[in-house]
Amino acid sequence: MNEKFTSVGIDIGTTTTQLVFSEITIENIAKGASVPRIKIVDKKVIYLSKIHRTPLLREDEIDGQTIKKIVIEEYLEAGIELSQVTTGVIIITGETARKKNANNVAKMLSDFAGDFVVATAGPDLESILAGKGSGADKVSKDRQNITANFDIGGGTTNISIFDKGEISDTISFDIGGSLIRFDNDSYITYIAPKVEKLAKGLNIKIKVGDRRDHSKIEKICREMALSLLKVVESEKHSKISELMVINDKTIGEYDVGAITFSGGVADYIYSLSNDLYKHKDIGVVLGKTIAKMCEQENIVLMLPLETIRATVIGAGAHTTEISGSTITITGDNLPIKNLPILKLSPKDELLTGGELENVIREKVSWFNLNEENQQVALALKGAKNTSFKDIQKLASSINKGMLEVSKREKKLVVVVENDMAKVLGQSLYKECKNAADVICIDGIRVENGDYIDIGRTLANGRVVPVVIKTLVFNF
């Protein structure tokens, strides 16, 4: 029997704010007397909002009341009541995620639906969400290759690398289409601090109040484009472009087989505009410059499924499951709601000892934003048949890699697809030396970008109900 519900996505980005309403169809796909398994069987967009300019009170503060007004007006325009919306996702991205009241705005807007996933996305998490929203993960899976997606917005560029459909790496730059802005008379009204430094490194004199000089803008955009394309060409950053990298991050060398672009600037990479300053910023020039350089370097571009709406298309959808019957639950920490998933890739799971420990620790940092740390659930597929000794080694690596989280939160949450949570959980609890409670469940398949709710135990503690809030992409 099918059941339909309405979901909403709200994206508050550096330059634009938008809403998308979707109709999600779920169905119990289990047969006979099997444990129910609810799965998304259909999804369709039923309303796309206008693309609004993100309102600010000042450079470091979002105008939350105006955003709330935008959301209310779009609900009315869509003809959808609050009571009709079951779930959804709020994503605050780019430079807007760094505003001092970003979390307060997200919490304020969470009243606009049922059981919201509320995420103030840091650059790494935003890269993953944008990559999935653009369909780059699907391109990578279908072609069994390495695909890179460049999501270029108003303030940042978030790059995600997918290997055969699985997220492999991310890197972000303070490069975007609104980092230099102009008034109606072509005078500069804003230059981002990092762009000022970039211009200085290029010996370009530019400041607020100057009249726009197209030749200078072209040189700055060319350096931005070079910084981005060096990533897929596995070249080292120049001293100038290094300053544009967020968090001084580096990534490995990849044999990239396909490239997609998403975000607002992407429209001007795939379809050039003659009006170079139509948005009173450098977005069109940056897009045109990237397109020209890709052509010169014989870089073949693939059209994404989505561009400007990549990070928000679709919304939170509920998939209710029951865990396996071999689980470990210590302490009294349930229920847990809205826990973001950090999933190890198949390549990660081949690692052991210190290498695996370091990978986990690095990926945990994806969920840290402005020195605010999040509790995360570590997810892995897990071996179907493995020895007790190997499970103990795995537990040791997980414990060390997640030590910062378990110490801070006094609990460690691990989600495994295959049947091994009882032994793994007990080994983890021993490794923690009782300093943190352990919640280790199996029989659950999740992906990066998902959020999970874990309910109180059922059947005399043998299973737990699980709700997976999957960000729905790829319409």
Instruction: Report the percentage of the chain scoring pLDDT > 70.
Output: 80
Average pLDDT over residues 205-216: 93
Q: What CA–CA distance (Å, rounded) separates 376 from 193?
A: 33
**Are 220 and 327 members of one domain?**
no
Of the candidate ranges 75-89, 137-151, 444-458, the one whose mean pLDDT is the lowest: 444-458
Indicate which CATH number applies to the domain containing 117.
Answer: 3.30.420.40
- Split at pLDDT 50, 70, 90, the class of 238 is low
Instruction: Report the percentage of the chain scoring pLDDT > 90.
Output: 24
**For position 117, what pLDDT does the model report?**
46
**Are 236 and 343 members of one domain?**
no
> Does residue 342 contact residue 361 with C-beta atoms inside 8 Å?
no
**Are 286 and 333 members of one domain?**
no
**Are 140 and 254 members of one domain?**
yes
Answer with the one of 296, 331, 355 that is the final residue of a domain. Answer: 296
pLDDT above 60 for 360: yes
Measure the CA angle with vertex 237, ends 232 and 239; round to 5°: 160
Please give the residue range of the domain that contains residue 459.
Answer: 323-471
**Is 265 part of a structural domain of the chain?**
yes
Residue 429 phi/psi, 5-degree rounding, is: -65, -35
Bridging pattern class, strands 85-92 and 115-120: parallel
The pLDDT tens digits of the residues spanning 140-190 come to 999 999 999 999 988 889 899 999 988 888 888 989 998 999 999 999 999
Average pLDDT over residues 18-45: 67
> Does residue 387 contact residue 424 with C-beta atoms inside 8 Å?
no
**Are 327 and 203 members of one domain?**
no
pLDDT above 90 for 288: yes
Q: Comparing C-alpha atoms, which of 444, 306, 63, 331 is closest to residue 71?
A: 63
Averaged confidence pLDDT in the chain: 80
pLDDT above 60 for 285: yes
Residue 412 CB contacts under 8 Å (≥ 6 apart), including other chains: 378, 398, 399, 402, 405, 406, 428, 432, 436, 437, 438, 439, 440
pLDDT above 60 for 207: yes
Of the candidate ranges 30-34, 270-274, 470-474, the one whose mean pLDDT is the lowest: 470-474
**For position 470, what pLDDT does the model report?**
53
**For position 281, what pLDDT does the model report?**
92
Average pLDDT over residues 21-30: 71
**Is 233 part of a structural domain of the chain?**
yes
**For position 161, what pLDDT does the model report?**
92
Answer with the one of 121, 156, 186 that is the final residue of a domain. Answer: 121
Regarding predicted confidence, which is higher, 225 or 130? Answer: 225
**Are 346 and 435 members of one domain?**
yes
Residue 164 CB contacts under 8 Å (≥ 6 apart), including other chains: 140, 141, 144, 145, 146
Give the number of domains in the chain: 3
CA distances from 469 to 3, 53, 360, 453 (A): 16, 28, 22, 8
pLDDT above 50 for 435: yes
Answer with the one of 102, 121, 140 that is the final residue of a domain. Answer: 121
**Are 406 and 432 members of one domain?**
yes
Average pLDDT over residues 272-280: 84
**For position 185, what pLDDT does the model report?**
92
**Are 82 and 167 members of one domain?**
no
- Split at pLDDT 50, 70, 90, the class of 115 is very low
Residue 195 CB contacts under 8 Å (≥ 6 apart), including other chains: 179, 180, 220
Q: Comparing C-alpha atoms, which of 311, 462, 331, 310 is closest to residue 406?
A: 331
**Are 356 and 213 members of one domain?**
no
